[in-house]
Amino acid sequence: MNTFISLTRNFFQPSFFAWKFSFAIVMLAMGACSEKPDHENEIPLVVVTTTHLYDLVDSLAGERVQVLSLMGPGVDPHGYKPTSRDLSSLAKADLIVFHGLMLEGRMGHALEQADKKGIPSIAATSDIPQALLLSSSEEGTDGHDDPHVWFSPEIWSVCVNTVMNKLIELDPKSEAEFRENAQVTLRQLEEIKVWSLDQVRQIPPERRKLVTSHDAFRYLGKELGLEVIGLQGISTSIEAGLADRANLVDFIKKQNIPAIFVETSVNPAAMNEIAKESGVFIGGELFSDALGPPGESVIGPEGKSFDLDSWGGMMVHNVSTLVKGLGKKE
């Protein structure tokens, strides 16, 4: 033990030296912060946060850029935590496209800052006119806007243009191609909008009520004339209270709602219990905060096939599930 004590004494003597040394390292590391990314001759890397944005950027510039999505299918953006590799891809990105409107929570703020730090970044929702946005809660007390704008073809087309302009800025040579792709995408939005309205008209008006886990579908409801009731609030991070549950069960019984729906990115346990208590069946899974898995498809307007991991497939799947669950007119 004596050896250790003497070791210790010697150890402490040069400590000021060591501290100075560590300061030098810290200073060096800080000096390195001001470096800018330098890889221009490769194809640009566009990092996006959600699956919706992956689909959007991929359909606009699939060939011209490399697209990387941080969140996979079935990931809830409200509770997403970036992993080490996700962060490295952000460091390498030539453009970051994120959703905005607080969908990514605190990460959204950090990504906004990236623009000032030399990594171009844009919120896809940044150009949406305020008048089109819904407030997150009916009381409108906390002033957030509902971020689930992809359910409205009208608003999503604004996002398409925002992202297109940013992509043109990134790669001006491919402007014509981006514009052409955007036209195709916008035509598809319009086509699906018309088809969805047509489908929903088959549901008897008194049954046009969508009961689901969280308040994600209010734009869809507004678009299609459905009444939307969510168990949880706008963010999935706040658990529903007991009173909310009891109210919802009463509501379902009173309104004679035939089916309620669960979401792929939210734990279905609570909705299953509510279905049991109120004696209705689960009408199916809806895609809310994330698109579907790759490799599966659904038949949409005019017998065309849509991939579930695309915006079109998501809309077609959701609308057909709703129509099937709530029942057509006899």
Partner 1 sequence: MSANRQTKETFIPDFDPIDTFVTPWSTHAEIAWNGQIVTMGILVCLACGLVGSFIVVRKLALMGDAISHGILPGLALAFIIMKSWALFPMFFGACVAGLLCSFCIEWLQKKSILKPDAALGVTFTTFFAFGVLLIAMYGGNAHIDAECLLYGEIGLIPLAESLSLGGVDLGARPIVSMFVVTVLVIISVTVFYRQLMVTSFDFTLAKTLGLPVTLIHYGLMLLLALTIVSSFEAVGVILVISMLIFPSVTANFFFRRMPAILFCSLPLSFVYSIGGFFLARWLDCTIAGAMVLVASLCFALGWAFGPNGGLAWQLLDRLNDKPGNKNARSEGCAVEGQ
Q: Is-contact 51 309, C-beta < 8 A?
A: yes
Which H or E run includes 27?
A: helix 15-31
Distance CA 95, CA 166 (A): 9
Burial (CB count <10 Å: 0-12, 13-18, 19+), residue 298: buried
* Span near partner 1 by CB under 8 A; candidates 23-31, 201-209, 210-218, 242-250: 23-31
Nearer to partner 1 among residue 36 and residue 254 (C-beta):
36
Distance CA 257, CA 79 (A): 30
267 binds partner 1 (CB under 8 A): no
**Tokens 């640009």 sit at which residue?**
44
Nearer to partner 1 among residue 126 and residue 137 (C-beta):
137
Q: Binding marks (x or -) toward partner 1, 279..298, rule CB under 8 A? A: ------------x--x----
**Tokens 């359910």 sit at which residue?**
151
| Binding residue for partner 1, selected from 24, 43, 62, 91, defined by CB under 8 A | 91
Cα-trace Rg, the chain: 25
Nearer to partner 1 among residue 11 and residue 281 (C-beta):
11
Nearer to partner 1 among residue 96 and residue 248 (C-beta):
96
236 closest CA partner among 55, 11, 14, 79 = 79
Minimum CB distance to partner 1, residue 108 (Å) = 9
User: How many residues in the shown chain lie near partner 1 by CB under 8 A?
Assistant: 63
243 binds partner 1 (CB under 8 A): no
Helix (H, G, I), strand (E, B) or coil at 308: coil
Distance CA 205, CA 41 (A): 57
120 binds partner 1 (CB under 8 A): no
Count CA within 13 A, CB hemisphere, residue 210.
Answer: 30
143 binds partner 1 (CB under 8 A): yes
Binding residues for partner 1, per CB under 8 A?
1, 4-5, 7-9, 11-12, 15, 18-19, 22, 25-26, 29-30, 32-39, 51, 54-55, 58, 66-69, 72-73, 81-88, 90-92, 106-107, 109-111, 113-114, 116-117, 119, 141-144, 237, 291, 294, 309
